[in-house]
Amino acid sequence: MSAGVFISFFETDNIDFTDNTYSNFGTTTFNSTPRSFSSFTEMAQENAYSRVPLGVHIEEDAIEGLRLGYEISNAINDLNLQGNSF
């Protein structure tokens, strides 16, 4: 879902970035090395397929998760959030 929102916000998918979220996390359970990506789509695909080798999900889950994520991000991107008062 976030990939589609980021693509819309930055108006491109071709952005190099590094995810340091779990670097030096403080616990050995979640500690990891930084992950570098050349696009938001690459990040989303790695995330979707990361659970397949573990046996937690099957490939169809990853495919459907990506489809649903982009469908949700399209709905979010279609919202007119400027000029609304809450």
Strand partners, 19: 35
pLDDT-above-90 percentage for the chain = 67
Q: How far apart are CA 86 and CA 7, in angstroms?
A: 26
Structural domain total, the chain:
1
pTM: 0.79
Which range of residues forms the domain containing residue 39? 2-78
| In a domain? residue 83 | no
Q: How confident is the model at residue 30 (pLDDT cuts 50, 70, 90)?
A: low
CB 32 within 8 A of CB 25: yes
Question: Does residue 26 fall inside a structural domain?
Answer: yes
28 within 8 A of 6, measured Cβ to Cβ: no
In a domain, 51, yes or no: yes
Tens-digit pLDDT profile for residues 34-65:
899 999 999 999 999 998 998 999 999 999 99
> Residue 83: what pLDDT?
65
Is residue 85, in this structure, part of any structural domain at all? no
